[in-house]
Amino acid sequence: MKNKNLVGDIVEVEKVKSKGGIKGPTVKKQKSTKELLIEFMKEQRAFNKFVIQKFDNIDQRLNRIENRLDNIVKLNNLKE
């Protein structure tokens, strides 16, 4: 709607800040189920990588022990 009385007049406009007022408590936005699932999957992937590395380390150590035992058996001419 146009106000025909103001046509050609200079109108000054300024922002007015509200003084105080009632502010509600700030509430954190809850994550959606999809976001929670993605976050969980990232954490699970990191944990799985960690566990796989630990198992690889244990496997390597067992292989070294097995090789040492084989060498001892061969050196002592023992029967397996």
- State the amino acid at position 43 in one-letter form: E
Residue 73 and residue 80 in contact, taking contact as beta carbons nearer than 8 Å? yes
What's the structural domain count of the chain? 1
Task: Note the pLDDT of residue 58.
Answer: 95
Distances (CA, A) of 64 to 47, 50, 80: 26, 21, 18
CB of 68 within 8 A of CB of 75? no
Report whether pLDDT(23) > 70: no
| Alpha carbons 6 and 9: distance in angstroms, whole number | 5
In a domain, 7, yes or no: no
47, part of any domain: yes
| 54 part of a folded domain | yes
In a domain, residue 22? The reply is no
Q: Is residue 25 part of a domain?
A: no
pTM of the predicted structure, to 2 decimals:
0.48
The answer to whether residue 23 is domain-embedded is no
* pLDDT reported for residue 3: 63
| Domain enclosing residue 78, as ranges | 30-80
Q: Which residue has the tokens 């976001």?
A: 35
Which pLDDT tens digit goes with each residue over 24-76?
667 778 888 999 999 999 999 999 999 999 999 999 999 999 999 888 888 87
